[in-house]
A and B are shown apart, each in its own frame.
Chain A
Amino acid sequence: MDTAHEYEKIEKSAKIKKVIGDSITYILLALWGFIVLFPFYWMVLTSFKSYASYNGEYIPKFYVSNPTFQNYVSAFTTVSLGRYLLNTALFTVITTVVMLIVTTFAAYAFARLQFKGKNIVFVLFLALMMIPNELVVITNFVTITNLDMRNSFPGLILPSVASVFYIYLLKENFEAIPDNLYYAAKVDGTSDFKYLFKVMVPIARPTIVTIVILKVIECWNSYVWPRLITDDPRFYLVSNGIQEIRENGFGRENIPAMMAAVVVISLPLIVLFLVFRRTVMSGVSRGGTKG
């Protein structure tokens, strides 16, 4: 009787402990969620405040009394946000497509084809992974300037189409595909080219999707190279556009309009992420850090 009572007591206290622990966990997790979300909330909120009401609030308000779309209109009319978005979309699509072609061919050569010097070339490739972009950007800047490709799409795109890391990732994936498939295809007289695109690429689709996602995020957010290579606003990408807006955009410190531009710039990737949530998250955890 007594031991049963004791047991119940212990179980009860363990339960209470767990409930308290869980509550604290939820509170702390919610707190971090709040810290993450607050800047997003603030930018959306501010983007709907009118210029006058924003500047009239000495103590910032957490709600909008008279929401206005005027800021979104000025973001597209006063500054060329539309052009920046178009440039960035174009830059992202072309860079990703060209990068994918270059990567697929190189990965195929390393994974499937036999040739003299393969190992040494691959080791040299791997060594290149250690080289930070900051080290090569100086000469690339000079090269592109000498080629007269500043303020042009080729100048923006060319230096970022070859990525050693993505070639490596895809090569590993290609190598996991059984050899038998290849020999069977060879017996049937299938060319390497056809085999690559009819068999290997479809099988490696998850990895290719990962690479595309990482590259799209990288392109959409790229700032340093476009800043070096463009000083003509007609070729600005969104990052440079937002910097331009910040420094001499709306002619005055129009923070609500600035925030409207920030919302427009942030939205495409956030929507993309929410739609392909699982793919993006597993891709990023496979693919490395930001930048």
Chain B
Amino acid sequence: MESTVKSNLKAWLYLLPALLFLGAFMVYPLIDVFIYSFEEGYNSASQTSFGTGIYNYSYVLHDPYFLQALKNTLILVAITVPVSTILSLLISLGLNRISKLKELFQTIYFLPYVTNTLAVGLVFMILFKKTAYTDGMINFLITAFGGKSVDFIEGPYWAKMMVLCIYTVWIVMPFKVLVLTSSLASVNPIYYSAARVDGTSNTRIFFRITLPMISPMIFYLVITGFIGAFKAYSDAVALFGTNLNVAEMNTIVGYVYDMLYGDSGGYPSYASAAAIILFSIVLTITVINLLVRNRGVVKG
């Protein structure tokens, strides 16, 4: 009896550091964020509030800055998730066809993963930016092909959105190419041999064998891609600076942080409400994805 008590105690001791840290910085905040979000007129200086209710949510949902951030995030998700998934699939298929130089290509493609988002974002900024001295590299290319130069960093909305999407795709590609390439390589070659013997066309092989075999991985990438894109923030900061509301380029996460801290900060209640709205969106998409996936598996 005594030994079980002792071994119980020992186990909890081993767990203690993790429990303490997770309790203080994850479980408690998780409860707290819901409380914050329902406390109306919370004042962080006097730590008092007027009462409880859903005013914070209604404020956030009517705030033009939030709506702008929501719109930006949705556009970003709608463009970058399909583009990066399809592009990475094409690249992985290409990588799987070749043997010479494969490792070199894989190494190069992985580089954006290990770079600092903020630092390399500056490079994208100067490539796209138009200043008094120069139109910048990209505009030089555009005019060389007979187009009209645009200021991608401080110019029209669509141009800014385009840079943000391009940079986001550039950043998320390494992970997708990495996992899709290994997933493609793990398809048993016997299926391909069998199909060849039957004289199946390449297109048919792709849609009937390759795609179904790697579809779980594609689903996984789409879900993580959705979640990642919904949480976009530092890429936007890298390109447009910290004052994203003025640049009309804020994201939902950016809105949360702006409400919390900085020139427009000091409103943890609004920040909490916005964070919970974001979390609900992400959760809904994850659940829908899982449902669709399960149905697909049962059918297939």
A residues contacting B by CB (< 8 A) are: 21-22, 25-26, 28-29, 32-33, 35-37, 39-40, 42-43, 46, 54-60, 101-103, 105-106, 108-110, 113-116, 118, 121, 125, 128, 130-132, 134-143, 158-159, 161-162, 164, 167, 192, 217, 220-221, 223-224, 227-228, 238-239, 242-243, 246-247, 253, 255, 258-259, 261-262, 265-266, 269-270, 272-274, 277, 280-281, 284-285, 288-291
Contact = CB atoms under 8 A, between A and B. Distances in A.
A55 B133 CA distance: 6
Contact of B26 (A29, A128, A266): A128
A212 B245 CA distance: 36
A132 B11 CA distance: 28
B117 A246 contact: no
A169 to B, nearest CB: 14
A118 B15 CA distance: 10
B300 to A, nearest CB: 25
Contacts of B29: 135-140, 143
A162 B171 contact: no
Determine which residue in B90, B91, B111, B171 has the highest number of CB atoms from chain A within 10 A of its CB, and name it.
B111
Contact of A162 (B26, B30, B110): B26
Contacts of A228: 257, 260-261
Nearest to A40: B111
16 contacts: A39-B123, A42-B127, A42-B137, A57-B134, A102-B21, A105-B14, A105-B16, A135-B33, A136-B29, A137-B275, A162-B18, A164-B26, A217-B114, A224-B234, A238-B118, A269-B114
A274 B17 CA distance: 34
A21 B202 CA distance: 12
Contacts of B118: 221, 223, 238-239, 242-243
Contacts of A227: 257, 261
B50 interface: no
A256 to B, nearest CB: 10
A272 B171 CA distance: 19
Contact of B36 (A54, A139, A280, A281): A139
Contact of A134 (B19, B95, B256): B256
Contacts of B111: 36-37, 40, 270, 273
A134 B30 contact: no
B191 interface: no
A243 B227 CA distance: 25
A-B pairs with lowest CB-CB distance, top 10: A139-B29, A162-B21, A115-B11, A136-B29, A106-B18, A109-B14, A113-B11, A139-B32, A159-B25, A239-B118
Interface stretch (B65-73, B155-163, B175-183, B291-299): B175-183
A139 B28 contact: yes
A238 B107 contact: no
B11 to A, nearest CB: 4
B11 A118 contact: yes
A116 B8 contact: yes
A26 B10 CA distance: 59
A138 B115 contact: no
Contacts of A57: 133-134
Interface stretch (B54-62, B75-83, B276-284): B276-284
Contact of B137 (A60, A140, A142, A247): A60
B109 interface: yes
B123 A262 contact: yes
Contact of A121 (B15, B90, B272): B15
B117 A221 contact: yes
B104 to A, nearest CB: 8
A56 B170 CA distance: 30
B53 interface: no
B41 interface: no
Contacts of B237: 223, 243
Given A33-B109, A261-B119, 18 more contacts: A32-B109, A36-B112, A55-B133, A59-B134, A60-B136, A60-B137, A106-B19, A108-B14, A136-B25, A138-B256, A139-B28, A164-B22, A224-B233, A238-B118, A239-B117, A243-B242, A272-B114, A284-B175
